[in-house]
Amino acid sequence: MSDLPRRAVTRSAKLASLPLGFAGRTALGVGKRTFGKSAEAVAVEIQQRTAEQLFKVLGELKGGAMKLGQMLSIFEAALPPEIAGPYRATLTRLQEAAPPLPASAVHRVLAEGLGEDWRDRFQEFDDEPAAAASIGQVHRAIWEDGRDVAVKVQYPGAGKALISDFNQLARLGRLFGVLMPGLDVKSMLTELKERVVEELDYTIEAESQTLMREGFPADDPDFYIPEVVAQAGDVLVTEWIDGTPLSKIISDGDQDTRDHAALLYCRFLLSGPSRCGLLHGDPHPGNFRLLPDGRLGVLDFGAVDRIPEEFQYRMGRLLRIGTLDDIDEIEAALRDEEFIREGVDVDIEGLEAFLAPITEPFVTETFRFSREWLRDMAARVTDLRPTNVVRQLNLPPEYVIVHRVLSAGTGVLCQLECEIPARAESLRWVAGFADEEEEAEPVA
């Protein structure tokens, strides 16, 4: 990781440059208004330049700043393509270019976690990582009992870097507020920080994976959750699973395979809360494998959210109300859940036009997810004018990971170009969604 900014003073300076740049742009905007440029035009220009600088700096930093950038899809979706495109490219390049830890460093982490005699726990251990991520890397090995295992090793110092970044980012709420004035940024950043702290703790990840395996046992006809073999310190050892990565199906799969994988993918994300009280919070295609027996294998349980039954019902009820032809009831429900904050007025017609296509997959018997449909959704939120209703909406902290799953999961389904019965899966698995079904029929 030596090619990325690491020293605290360097990281702090980059983050500190953001409010200074914003102040300069605000002063420039006042000057332009003085010379006759419309307030709305100046506001849009300030927002675009603020967004450009914000995401540029986030993309240059590894750790908490980069992870925040990856997670805040609500901001990215609100940006014009000329800003969001290079930002995504920067994140991809950083992640792909992250150099692996030297074998000696990996061995130190293993010794700290499993003991100085860690090699006795393995029949074989491959020093070359099989995969790398933002806070750790995975090695393939053979456990002492002969099982193929995946050994997840966290980068030394990753935790301190992440927490330091989030402490810095918490001071930048005003900048995010420029982009999304209806958003309670402080609460959202606090929630994200708590999630990242949990993701750093492999004890929590091991517990989450074990609980999810109990909800989706080894003989499940649709899914396979690898068993946790061992966990200690910054080391997590689980079963290794082979299969076709979802990304490979996206690029090369035939239509039947796409539809089958997509149905299981959708079913897994929707059914987790009701089956084991957990929501898998990182639905990236790299975390899923289509196994030879047709089941979907699931990896990486660092970002898992506990979903209480009461909250499951509230989410389902909100989703159901969103499918109804009653915009007043929809607005009331959004206010109840604080998606529209107290004192914020929204354009009801604009809200109705914005929500209608988003709820479409949960209204029709089957729905075809496509890149074209996704581009249309994105176009609805890339308008930075103050009149755009999406800029007045809030993301309540408890919905942060839910939004992440819904937006990222929808993106994967659109990449699969699939047709699946998303509504039927929701009726089957989402508490609250089927309530009052006969009394309030959805829009056809």
* Catalytically active residues, by annotation: 282
Q: What does the chain come to in residues?
A: 444
User: Which stretches does DSSP call E strand in 72-191?
Assistant: 122-125, 131-132, 136-143, 148-154
In the three-class reduction of DSSP (H, G, I as helix; E, B as strand; rest coil), residue 131 is classed as strand
Between CA 444 and CA 441 the distance in angstroms is: 8
Decide: 55 and 175 in contact? Cβ < 8 Å.
no
Q: Which two tokens stand for residue 423?
A: 């509504």
Residue 417: HSE in the Cβ half-sphere, 13 Å Cα cutoff:
10
Query: How many CB atoms are located within 10 Å of the residue 86 CB?
Result: 14
Decide: 444 and 286 in contact? Cβ < 8 Å.
no
Burial of 110 (C-beta count, 10 Å sphere; 0-12/13-18/19+): buried
How far, rounded to the nearest angstrom, does the alpha carbon of residue 251 sit from its chain's CA centroid? 21
Q: Which two tokens stand for residue 63?
A: 């750790």
DSSP conformational letter for 434: S
